[in-house]
Amino acid sequence: MTEAESADGSIAAEEARSFDRLVNFTDAVVAIAITLQLLPLATIKGPGEGQTVVDVFSENSGTIFTFLLSFVIVVVMWINHNRIFNVLRRADGTILWLNIAWLVSIAFLPWPTAMYGDATNQTAQQVGGIALLYWSNLAVISLILTLIAWHAARRPDLLAPGAASRGWLADRKRSRLRGIVFPAWFIVIGLACEFFTPQASWLALGLIPIGRWLNHRPKVSSASDPRPSGTPPTGSPPS
C-alpha cells in the first residue's frame, strides 16, 4: 500500500485530483493539436479565373488527404488513450512522463503534416525525407501509447478495482500484438512513401482490417464452457 492509499485501498483526494487534471490537460492538448491540423487548409485559395472547385481540390489533394488522415489517426489515438486511462485510478511518475512525451509527439504532428501535404501535392516522386518524418511521428505516438499500456498492466496498484479482468486488460496478448503491429506498420508506410511512391500512403487503410482482426475475440462455445449446467456467467447478478 502506498502513502497515497488508505487502509481500504482508496486513494487520497489530492492524488485523485492530480490524475483528473492530467486527463483534462491531455484532452485539451489533443483538441488543440487536432485544430492546428486545419491550418494548412486555411491557406488554400479559392478558384481563380477559369477554375472550378474541383480544380482546387485536385491541385491540393495531398494537403486535404493528409489533413483527413492525420485527423482520423489522432482521433483513434485519443480513443485508445481514453481506453487505457479509463482503467486507471492514478498515475505514477512513469505514466506522467510517458504521457508528456506522448503529448509532445501529438503537438509536434501539425508541422510534418503541413510539409507532407505540400510535398504530396507535387508531381515529384521524391519527398526529401518528409514522408519518413511524418510516418515516424505517427509511429512514435503509437509506440508511446503502447509503453503507457504496458506499464499500467504491470502495476495493479494503478488500476481501478476489477479493471484487470475487463477491457483491453482482459486480452493482453492481443493488446501487446496491437502495440507492436501499429507502429511497425507506420514505419513501413513511411519507407514505402520515401523510397517508392507517395501514393503508398494509401496503405494506411490497411490499419482498418488489421485493427478489426486484432480486436476480434472468438466466442466461447457452450460446449467448451467448463462451468456446470445452470451456472450463471461470471459477473452475472444472482437471481
- Residue 229 in any domain: the answer is no
Per-residue pLDDT, averaged over 122-139, amounts to: 78
Task: Report percent pLDDT > 70 for the chain.
Answer: 74
Tell me if 56 sits within 8 A of 47, measured CB to CB.
yes
Per-residue pLDDT, averaged over 112-125, amounts to: 75
How many domains, the chain? 1
Give, for 24, the enclosing helix (H) or strand (E): helix 13-36
- Residue 177 in any domain: the answer is yes
- Residue 6 in any domain: the answer is no
Per residue, the 3-state secondary structure of 72-136, as one string, reads: HHHHHHHHHHHHHHHCECCCCHHHHHHHHHHHHHHHHCHHHHHHHHHHHHCCCCCCCCHHHHHHH
pLDDT at 154: 86
Per-residue pLDDT, averaged over 77-90, amounts to: 88
pTM of the model: 0.76
Residue 217 has pLDDT above 80, yes or no: no
DSSP tally for the chain: helices H, then strands E = 9, 0
Q: What angle do CA 182, 188, 192 make, to 5 degrees?
A: 145
- Residue 225 in any domain: the answer is no
Residue range of the domain that includes 210: 13-44+53-215
How do residues 170-201 score in pLDDT, each as one tens digit? 666 666 677 788 888 888 888 888 777 767 77
Tell me if 160 sits within 8 A of 10, measured CB to CB.
no
* 46-50, 111-115, 234-238: segment of lowest average pLDDT: 234-238
Which amino acid, 62? G
pLDDT at 148: 92
pLDDT at 57: 83
Per-residue pLDDT, averaged over 6-28, amounts to: 79
- Residue 163 in any domain: the answer is yes
- Residue 34 in any domain: the answer is yes
- Residue 33 in any domain: the answer is yes
- Residue 114 in any domain: the answer is yes
pLDDT at 104: 95
